[in-house]
Amino acid sequence: MFKWILWFLLILVGLGFVGYNYAMDYASDKVMDQVSNTLVANEEEVNKLLSDPQIKKYIEANEEPPENLPFTTKEEAMKVVSKKYSVNEMVEMRDKVREGLTTSEKEEIYQDLKSKLSKEELEALKIVALKEMKKTQ
């Protein structure tokens, strides 16, 4: 009897782990999509980021990332963002993105990101988004 309960708990934990990883991957894709869309709309910020030769080489030539970035992958970015936002806030943001965003809603999300992330984290998020955009092109 104890073995069955133990197996059930192990399966439940395994499913929870898989579900968590799937949700984090899905959420990181959605956050990157949103940041990418915001960046594309703001060509000035893209040009400002690409004016740094080290960042340009990282994005375009897959060279080493700049050392001052707090993260360099979308998974790492999602971990940082998930520490700043509650699960409910992330679900709400995901639902907004899924339904489609107006310009004012995009600006609201961007302002919220600016208020919760440090300047370095926000810049790293933009760089990771540009890198992801480059991969999909």
Based on the structure, what is the number of domains in the chain? 1
Domain contains 54: yes
* Parent domain of 31: 23-136
Confirm whether 117 is domain-assigned: yes
Q: Which residue, 87, 108, 86, is CA-closest to 97?
A: 108
- What's the confidence (pLDDT) of residue 11? 92
pTM of the model: 0.67
What does the DSSP 8-state code read for residue 118? Answer: -
Residue 9 lies in a domain: no
pLDDT tens digit sequence for 45-90: 777 877 888 888 888 777 788 778 888 887 888 788 778 877 778 7
Distance of CA 107 to the CA centre of its chain: 17
Cα 106 to Cα 33, 94, 100, 103, 112: the distances in Å are 11, 12, 10, 5, 10
Assigned domain for 11 exists: no
Residue 47 domain-assigned (yes or no): yes
Return the pLDDT at 61. 76
Nearest to residue 130, comparing CAs of 28, 32, 27, 53?
32
What are φ and ψ of residue 56, in 5° steps?
A: -60, -45
Residue 14 lies inside a defined structural domain of this protein? no
Write out pLDDT tens, residues 93-135.
Answer: 777 777 777 778 777 877 887 888 888 888 888 888 888 777 7
Look at residue 50 and tell me if it is in a domain.
yes
Does residue 107 form part of some domain?
yes
